[in-house]
Structure 1
Amino acid sequence: MRPVLVYTASRIALFLVTAAVLYLVGLQNPLVLIAVSFLVSGIASYVLLSKQRDAMSARISGKIDQPKPQGD
């Protein structure tokens, strides 16, 4: 569960930092600010968070591959 939380928290933090920087640069329209922040943070997370994404993927696929307990 930890890799999933780390990746999710990192994505949220990256989005918030991106939004703050764009706001300080002068992007004042809230709808445009959210849309551009979402796009920029998504691209940045693809590059910057690859290790966290791989760890999360391994954790999730490991959980899916485990056999389910039989409840007879």
Structure 2
Amino acid sequence: MRPVLVYTASRIGLFIVTIGVLWLLAPLVGLTHPLSLILVSFLISGIASYVLLSKQRDAMSVRISDKIDRPKPQDD
């Protein structure tokens, strides 16, 4: 469960940092509408997480696949 939590928290943290930086730079970049700020932040943080969080993503996928492949107990 820990790798899933680490990856999820990292994704949320990266999104918050991205939206914070874009909010500070909004007048310079022309992002005046809040919805456009959120959408651009979502896109940038998604691309950044693909690059920066590859180890966490791999650990999470190993954890999930191990959980799925684990044999189920037989009920008699």
Counterpart secondary structure, 1:70: coil
**Normalised TM-score (structure 2):** 0.91
Q: How many residues align?
A: 72
4+ long deviations beyond 3 Å: none
Higher Rg: 2
Matches within 5 A, 1:10-49: 10-26=10-26, 27-49=31-53
**Normalised TM-score (structure 1):** 0.96
Structure 1's unaligned 5+ residue stretches are none
Range that drifts further, 26-35 or 41-50: 26-35
Q: CA RMSD, aligned part only? A: 0.7
For 1:66, the equivalent position in structure 2 comes to 70
The 2-side partners of 1:29 and 1:20 are apart by 14
